[in-house]
Structure 1
């Protein structure tokens, strides 16, 4: 069996679907099915159980691919090591982050990254779901929150903070809340997420924390949607500073409580970089990590 055939089997086992792998590769699902059948005929045993919804490994397939995956990973590592002494970063870098962070922060950086590393092709997967780094073949994930854990390498990019904002038009119509507690009388824009919908927390300079119960007639799972609604004058909103700082600077939004920290869950939140644990980090991944770190140091200090 050829090395690329082993890679195909490993990918199917991780994705659990011929159709998903075919879609990722831009191939016809029937070609993937026939290819697997040919490999199984060559090996003399079945690798996968097939159902109408999912494929799963047989006992023989589990044993076989466990050994095959070790060999494939070792060969990939050997190739990366060899390339590191002879070539510039190259290959396809598959990176994922949230939709809002991707569109607001990451996408504007990509033209310069491509100029610096023209041999690195990019696959940008924007999703508010936490994708599985192995199953979804992610080289580098950027996640936001108080912390992350799992069987991968985690590195903090930088701390973040949140602001409660509203548009000048909204404040002219409804009045500016003098204190966080006054938000109880406003129609707030809320995240449709556990822990975000009904309460915001505020911390003053002395460290005292004030919880405020909020309500609102509009909720959304998307930060970009809430941002657009706040700009349209629909109400106060709690959003990450990296999403609203430009609007505050331009006057399109007003930071209602600039002397206080605000959050929905915890005040210790950050932007994290995640990548699969392995003994050697491919140059293409290292290039993006170093690029983002340089950006965070020079451009993101105000966050």
Structure 2
């Protein structure tokens, strides 16, 4: 039984898309479809229901899925035991972050991380666009936003504090605001996508 075919089947069920599984595994959608077809032919059973918008395991697919996962886990354990130091991660890790955060924070951390895990392939997608995390096979997404997809698990990493600033020239020309209500009459710059500010502590001048 071909392990690559098993990976396509397991990933397709996990992400709910054969195209998403192909992206995660670094192969073409045609190759993923061929692998699934080969596995179904070998087993003599249809494993997945496919439509243009969704994918779900058949009854036989539900039965075979835990066995496929066990086979892949067994292979991973065997490869781990073969490594001399018995340490390090293997596989393919896909990370996405906002462009600035990825460039300034995540990217500088990756060389050390990858040197500790030489058998691990890492992809870093830096973009400020909305990303289909499940469909694109993303493992870790770092964003400054509330979680909207309840299929995902979020963990708070840190606060994103900001301060209100003005140039001396602007304050001389327009006056120094004394209350929050004064801000309504000031010319303010908002970050792209922002519609308002949350102010938790009254500023003091």
Instruction: Mark the CA change 1:179 to 1:127 in structure 2 (over 3 Å): closer, same or farther.
Output: same
In the alignment, what sits opposite 2:98?
98
TM-score by length of 2: 0.69
TM-fit CA distance, 1:43: 0.7
Post-superposition offset of 1:52: 2.9
Could you list the runs of 5+ residues in structure 2 that have no partner in the other structure? Answer: none
Unaligned runs of 5+ in 1: 205-256, 261-303
Name the structure 2 match of 1:22. 22
* 1:5 match: 5
Take 1:161 and 1:26, find their aligned partners in 2: how far apart are those partners?
37
1:203 aligns to 2:204 (yes or no):
no
What is the root-mean-square deviation in Å for CA atoms of aligned residues?
4.1
Are the structure 2 counterparts of residues 203 and 22 from structure 1 closer, same or farther at C-alpha, using a change threshold of 3 Å?
same
Distance of 1:76 and 1:25 partners within structure 2: 15
User: Aligned to 1:95, what secondary structure does the other structure show?
Assistant: strand
Question: Structure 1 residues 79 and 153 mapped into 2: Cα distance closer, same or farther (>3 Å)?
Answer: farther
Give the equivalent residue in structure 2 for 1:42.
42
Aligned to 2:137: 136
Task: Number of aligned residue pairs: give it.
Answer: 202
Q: Please show how residues 1-303 of structure 1 align to structure 2 within 5 Å.
A: 1-73=1-73, 75-76=75-76, 79-80=79-80, 83=83, 85-88=85-88, 91-111=91-111, 113-114=113-114, 116-117=115-116, 119=118, 120-126=120-126, 129=130, 132=133, 136-138=137-139, 140-144=140-144, 154=155, 157-166=157-166, 171=171, 174-190=174-190, 197-204=195-202, 257=203
Deviation at 1:13, TM superposition (A): 1.6
Q: 1:165 to 1:75 in 2, by over 3 A?
A: farther
TM normalised by structure 1 equals: 0.51
Secondary structure in 1 matching 2:45: coil
